[in-house]
Chain A
Amino acid sequence: MRSALAGGSDGAGPDRTAADAPDPRPRDSSVPVLDVLGELLPEGLRRGEAVSVLSRGGAVDYLALSLLAGALHAGLWCAAVGVAGLGGLAVAELLGAGADRAEGLSRLLIVPDPAARWAEVASALADGVDLLLVHPPAHVDAQIARRVDARLRQGRASGTRHSAAMAVLGAWPTARLTLRTARTVWVGLDGVGPTAGTGHLAGGRATVLAEARGAGRPRTARLWLPSATGAAAALTELPATARDADAPAPGTPRRLTAVA
Chain B
Amino acid sequence: MPRTSQTPHPDRQTASRVLIAWCPDWPVLAVGADLDAPAAVLDGAGSRAAVAACSPAARAAGVRRGQRVREAQRLCPELAVLPRDEQAEARVFEPVMAAAEEVAAAVEMVRPGLIALPARGPARYHGGEPVLAALLRDRIADVAAPSGSPIGCGVGIADGMFAAGLAARRPGDTPLVVPPGGSPAFLEPYPVAVLERPELAGLLQRLGVHTLGAFAALPAGDVANRFGADGTLAHRLARGLDPRPPAPRRPAEDLAVEHAFDPPAERDEPVVFVAKSLADRLHAVLGGAGLSCVRLHVQAITAGGRECGRTWRHGDAAGGSLSSLAVAERVRWQLDGWRTREAPAGQGTDHGADQDADPVVLLRLVPDQLVVDAGAQQALWGREQVPDRVARAAEHVQALLGHAGVVRLEPVGGRDPAERVETVPWGDLPVLIQGTSIQGTSVQGASARGRAAARDPRAPWPGAVPPPAPPLVPDEPAAAELRDASGALLSVTGRSRLSGVPATLAVGGERLAVTGWAGPWPFDERSWSRQGGRRRARVQCATGDGRAWLLAVEGGAWRVEGVYQ
State the A residues within 8 Å of B (CB): 4, 7-11, 55-56, 59-62, 64-65, 77, 79, 84-93, 101-102, 105-106, 108-114, 117, 120-121, 124-129, 162, 181, 183-184, 186, 188-191, 196-201, 203-204, 226-230, 248-249, 251-256, 258-259
**Subset of 10 A-B contacts with CB under 8 Å:** A59-B472, A88-B409, A110-B406, A112-B423, A121-B397, A128-B389, A189-B540, A199-B518, A229-B468, A230-B467
Per the bound structure, the CA–CA distance linking A120 and B393 in Å amounts to 11
- CB of B396 closer than 8 Å to a CB of A: yes
- CB of B112 closer than 8 Å to a CB of A: no
Q: How many residues of B contact A (CB 8 A)?
A: 68
Per the bound structure, the CA–CA distance linking A87 and B520 in Å amounts to 22
Per the bound structure, the CA–CA distance linking A254 and B405 in Å amounts to 40
**In the complex, chain B residues 448-472 whose Cβ is within 8 Å of any chain A Cβ:** 460-472
- Are B518 and A191 closer than 8 Å at their CB atoms? yes
Q: Least Cβ distance of A159 to chain B in Å? A: 16
If A106-B408, A189-B542 touch, whether A111 touches B401 (CB-CB below 8 Å) is yes
Residue from A127, A162, A251 within 8 A of B466 (CB atoms):
A251
Per the bound structure, the CA–CA distance linking A198 and B517 in Å amounts to 8
If A56-B547, A111-B405 touch, whether A10 touches B471 (CB-CB below 8 Å) is no
Q: Least Cβ distance of A212 to chain B in Å? A: 24
- Are B401 and A128 closer than 8 Å at their CB atoms? no
Cβ contacts under 8 Å, B384 to chain A: 9
Cβ contacts under 8 Å, A201 to chain B: 466, 468, 518, 540, 542, 548, 550, 564
Question: Closest chain B residue to A62 by CB distance?
Answer: B471
- CB of B473 closer than 8 Å to a CB of A: yes
- Are B408 and A110 closer than 8 Å at their CB atoms? yes
Residue from A92, A108, A197, A230 within 8 A of B408 (CB atoms):
A108
Per the bound structure, the CA–CA distance linking A8 and B390 in Å amounts to 9
Per the bound structure, the CA–CA distance linking A253 and B545 in Å amounts to 26
Question: Closest chain A residue to B394 by CB distance?
Answer: A109
Cβ contacts under 8 Å, A189 to chain B: 515-518, 540-542, 548
Cβ contacts under 8 Å, B388 to chain A: 7-8
Most chain B CB inside 10 Å of its own CB: which residue of A62, A79, A88 = A88
- CB of B546 closer than 8 Å to a CB of A: yes
Residue from B464, B467, B519 within 8 A of A197 (CB atoms):
B519
Cβ contacts under 8 Å, B470 to chain A: 87, 90
- Are A7 and B406 closer than 8 Å at their CB atoms? no
- Are A84 and B501 closer than 8 Å at their CB atoms? no
Cβ contacts under 8 Å, A126 to chain B: 393
Cβ contacts under 8 Å, B517 to chain A: 189, 196-197
Cβ contacts under 8 Å, A196 to chain B: 501, 517
Question: Closest chain A residue to B502 by CB distance?
Answer: A197
Per the bound structure, the CA–CA distance linking A151 and B361 in Å amounts to 26
Per the bound structure, the CA–CA distance linking A218 and B501 in Å amounts to 40
Secondary structure type dominating chain A contacts: loop
Q: Least Cβ distance of B416 to chain A in Å? A: 9
- Are A10 and B385 closer than 8 Å at their CB atoms? yes
Residue from B460, B469, B522 within 8 A of A87 (CB atoms):
B469
Per the bound structure, the CA–CA distance linking A205 and B550 in Å amounts to 18
Cβ contacts under 8 Å, B461 to chain A: 251
Q: Least Cβ distance of B535 to chain A in Å? A: 14
Q: Least Cβ distance of B397 to chain A in Å? A: 5
If A101-B411, A111-B405, A204-B548 touch, whether A61 touches B471 (CB-CB below 8 Å) is yes
Per the bound structure, the CA–CA distance linking A108 and B464 in Å amounts to 24
Question: Closest chain A residue to B563 by CB distance?
Answer: A59
Per the bound structure, the CA–CA distance linking A93 and B467 in Å amounts to 8
Cβ contacts under 8 Å, B548 to chain A: 184, 186, 189, 201, 204
- B 165-176 to A, binary, CB cutoff 8 A, 1 in contact else 0: 000000000000
Residue from A108, A110, A113, A128 within 8 A of B393 (CB atoms):
A128
Residue from A7, A111, A197 within 8 A of B387 (CB atoms):
A7
- CB of B421 closer than 8 Å to a CB of A: yes
- Are B417 and A124 closer than 8 Å at their CB atoms? no
Cβ contacts under 8 Å, B390 to chain A: 8, 77, 109, 128-129
Cβ contacts under 8 Å, A7 to chain B: 387-389
Per the bound structure, the CA–CA distance linking A53 and B394 in Å amounts to 24
Question: Closest chain B residue to A201 by CB distance?
Answer: B540
